[in-house]
Every structure is written in structure tokens, then in C-alpha cells.
Structure 1
Amino acid sequence: MSVFEIVFSPTGGTRKVSGLVAGALDNNTVTVDLTDSGLDLSAVSMTEDDVAVISVPAYAGRIPAVVADRLGMVRGNGARAVLVCVYGNRAFEDTLVELEDVAKHAGFRVIAAVAAIAEHSIA
């Protein structure tokens, strides 16, 4: 079993939370940075024995549009997924629901979800 930390974190707050969650599962994680537009995400593939911590910030209660596109390139292949939504200045609203839909479409089995508060990027 491998633990993958799949994270979109333009300002670093989501990365901190994601690292705490993934690190609690295993200290040796494979990081997939969805923030890096140059990364070949089609080469990222998991097995059903793997666990992925998929972490995104909430933008106005939604997932960032680019996350849906980039996560859709990853092949989950039945890997278990823990979804993490990080929010700061307002409620996370539909972020976890949308992230669940995108993760399932990418082939992940969602087993848990976390909503975590972090400092807002404007603070």
C-alpha cells in the first residue's frame, strides 16, 4: 500500500493541512501537486490497495475549476480516497460534494472526508 498526497494549494494553506492528514497515515507519501500545470498527471496511477489524500481549498464554496480538469487526468483505479477541503473566510458549502463527484469519476473509492479551517489567503 502506498499513500498518495494529491493536493492543489496555490498559497500553501491547503498543503499544510494535507501534509498533516497524509502524514498521519504514512510518513512516506507520494506527493502529486495539482498546482503544477507542467506535471504529466496522466502518468499518475494507483492500485486499489493504495490510499489517496485529495486536498483542495474551497473557492466560494466550490472546488477550483482547474482541480476537476487536473484530477480527472489521474487514474484512481479503485484506490481509497480521503477528501480534504480547506476553507478560511466563509463556509465550504458544496466543496466536498463536488470533490467526491470528481474523485469518483477519476476512479477513486471515497471512504472519508474532512473539512478543515486554515488561515485565509488574504489574511
Structure 2
Amino acid sequence: MNIKKLSALYFSPTGGTEKIARYVAGELGKRLGLKPEYIPFTKPAEREGERRFGPGELLVMASPVYAGRLPNKLMPEYQAKIFGDGAIALPICVFGNRSPDEALRELALLLEGNGFQLAGGAAFAGRHAFSDQVGEGRPDGDDLAQMADFAAKIAEKLAGEELPPLELDRSEIGPYYTPLKVDGTPARFLKAKPLTHWEKCCYCGACARACPMGSIDPKTMDAVGLCVKCQACVRKCTRRAKFFEDPDFLSHVSMLEQNYTRRADNQIML
């Protein structure tokens, strides 16, 4: 197959998904003799308008996993704005060391439904956005080696005259994972929003600029709109002034730290 253009598009509020998308695309680029174009799809302005990819193009499409699925507030935007028109796609999901659950299959089916031909796909573990203890150090050297091997196998597939159909379960996608508290009961924190230690805040606006939903007032630094719990404001605050105190959210974080510090396996689909 004659691949003329390689692109990597990613939604990545805290940078973990972008890192993996760039690494996989870079490894593919080495093997295909192409320089990847990197397309952020994170902030509201970056998500305006459609993105169309045509014949001879390869798209690495990367998304984080939220509750075992694609982020529910972003999935409709993926569906409404990213189209294949005969291009080839490589869906990549990044999960926080618990499980990718249905996210990879969901992204693959979405891209296939939007006109892409699938070359393969993968779900790679990263550090969890909620806690540095969950997925600490991921992706590590072993992960990067697995990504490079994955890219090599995809490049080998693309060297053929035709791309064989990808074997994929096309049944209905399962439900979202229900977050749990330490006691095993459901953790209900949909309405939780970040708070601010005002004695630390310098009103620099880093949190407002980082929010992928545009939900932090750049004048007051208050969370005034929809919060997807991505932790971008917490992690990018220059003074460590942003925090969550919702009891269910904090109990869920503790549950993750108690049960999911073991090394989760990556998933490869070829």
C-alpha cells in the first residue's frame, strides 16, 4: 500500500495520551519514511470543525479511557468531527493501569463507522490521572519496546498490496465501568469539581488554559462549567492550589491505590 501521509490526533488533557500517540506515530514514521503530523484535539478551540483524512493517509487516533470507555463527553465529538473518506486508522487507547475494558473496541468501531479502514489497534497503560501510585512509571521501557514492535508489525501489514480486514467483535458495546469506593459500593462523584486553596493561588490562569472543557473562569479561577475529572487543572497548576475533596472521589482514588498498583497488561489488536 502507498501511504503518503501519517498523522497522529489525540485528546490528552494531562499529556499521557499525547506521549504515547507521539511515540507510536514516531516509530511508524521511521518505518514508513514519513514525518508525522501531530494534531491536538484537546482544548475547545482545537476541536472546532471537522478533520477529514483521505486515501493514502494513515491516522493514529489516540484517546484516554474514562470508566472503561471513551470519554462520554468527547465520544460524540470524535463521531461528529473525525472522518476517514478511505483513509487507514490505527486506534490507540491509553488507560490508567486498571483496564481498558471496552474503550479500544469502541474507538475501533467508531473509526470504522466513520469511513476508516482499520490496520490494527492497541490499548497501552499509563499513569492514572487520579494518582501517581497507579501506573507509576508507565509507559516504561518494556512498554516502549512493545509499542515499537507493534509499529513494526503494522508497517509490515501496510507493505502489502491490500490491507486484510481486521478481526473485531462488532457486537454492542458494554456499559461504562462503575467506579467503586474502598468499601466496594459505587462511588458517585459526577458532580464533583475542583476547588482552590486560595492562599496558594496566584491567578496565573494555568488551570483555565489547561481545562479541555473550557470550564474554569480565567478571571476567578473557579470551576463554573462541566468537569470531566481529567485532572488537568490539578496537575498543571503552578502552585498546587487545585484539589478535589469530594468524599466519594477520594474513596475511589484510595480504592485504586489499594487494588491497581500491579502491572496491567497492554492489549494489542493486529
Report if TM-score (shorter chain) is over 0.5: yes
1:23 is matched with 26
Deviation at 1:69, TM superposition (A): 2.1
Flag the structure with higher strand content: 1
Deviation at 1:48, TM superposition (A): 1.8
Unmatched runs of 5 consecutive residues or more in structure 1 = none
Matched residues, number:
122
2:70 to 58, 63, 69: 63
* Separation in structure 1 between the aligned mates of residue 129 and residue 15 of structure 2, nearest angstrom: 9
Classify 1:66/1:109 alpha carbon distance in 2 versus 1 (closer, same or farther; 3 Å): farther
Runs ≥4 residues deviating over 3 A:
none
* Separation in structure 2 between the aligned mates of residue 70 and residue 32 of structure 1, nearest angstrom: 15
State, as a whole percentage, how many aligned pairs show the same letter: 30
Unmatched runs of 5 consecutive residues or more in structure 2 = 133-270
1:10 is matched with 13
Deviation at 1:105, TM superposition (A): 2.2
> Is residue 98 of structure 1 aligned with residue 106 of structure 2?
yes
Could you tell me the TM-score, scaled by structure 1's length? 0.90
* Separation in structure 2 between the aligned mates of residue 69 and residue 32 of structure 1, nearest angstrom: 18
Deviation at 1:56, TM superposition (A): 0.8
* Separation in structure 2 between the aligned mates of residue 32 and residue 71 of structure 1, nearest angstrom: 13
CA offset digits 1:30-84 (Å, max 9, x no partner): 2222212113331x22112110001111111100123322222122112111111
RMSD: 1.5
Classify 1:97/1:62 alpha carbon distance in 2 versus 1 (closer, same or farther; 3 Å): same
1:114 to 116, 122, 144: 122
Larger deviation, residues 29-38 vs 15-24: 29-38
Q: Is the 8 A contact 2:8 2:39 kept in 1?
A: yes
2:83 to 75, 82, 101: 75
* Separation in structure 1 between the aligned mates of residue 115 and residue 11 of structure 2, nearest angstrom: 18
1:38 is matched with 45
Higher RCO, 1 or 2 (CA under 8 Å, sep at least 6)?
A: 1
Bigger radius of gyration: 2
